[in-house]
C-alpha cells in the first residue's frame, strides 16, 4: 500500500499543500502536518506543489 509521507525535517509548515488537496485530508497544526491516509486518494497534487519537496510517496 502506498501513502504520502511528510519529511518532517524539511517541511516548514507553510500550508501550500493543504489548499490543493481535493479530499481535504491534510491537517496543519502549529507543530506538524498530518495526512489522513484512509482518506487520501494518492493524487500527488500535494507532492507536486510543495516548493521544497517535503512530501514523498512511500510504499508500505
Interface with ligand SF4 (CB under 6 A), residue from 8, 52, 56, 58: 52
d(CA 8, CA 41): 21
The reply on whether position 48 binds ligand SF4 by CB under 6 A is no
Interface with ligand SF4 (CB under 6 A), residue from 8, 41, 56, 58: 41
List all residues 6 or more positions away from 22 whose beta carbon is below 8 Å from its beta carbon. 41, 43, 45
Q: How far is the CB of 1 from ligand SF4 (least distance, A)?
A: 13
Residues that bind ligand SF4 (CB under 6 A): 4, 6, 11-17, 20-21, 23, 25-26, 33, 35, 40-46, 50, 52, 54-55
Amino acid at each position: 500500500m502506498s501513502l504520502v509521507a511528510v519529511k518532517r525535517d524539511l517541511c516548514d509548515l507553510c500550508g501550500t499543500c493543504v489548499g490543493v488537496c481535493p479530499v481535504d485530508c491534510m491537517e496543519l497544526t502549529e507543530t506538524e502536518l498530518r495526512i489522513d491516509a484512509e482518506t487520501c486518494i494518492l493524487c500527488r497534487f500535494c507532492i507536486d506543489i510543495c516548493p521544497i519537496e517535503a512530501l514523498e510517496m512511500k510504499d508500505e
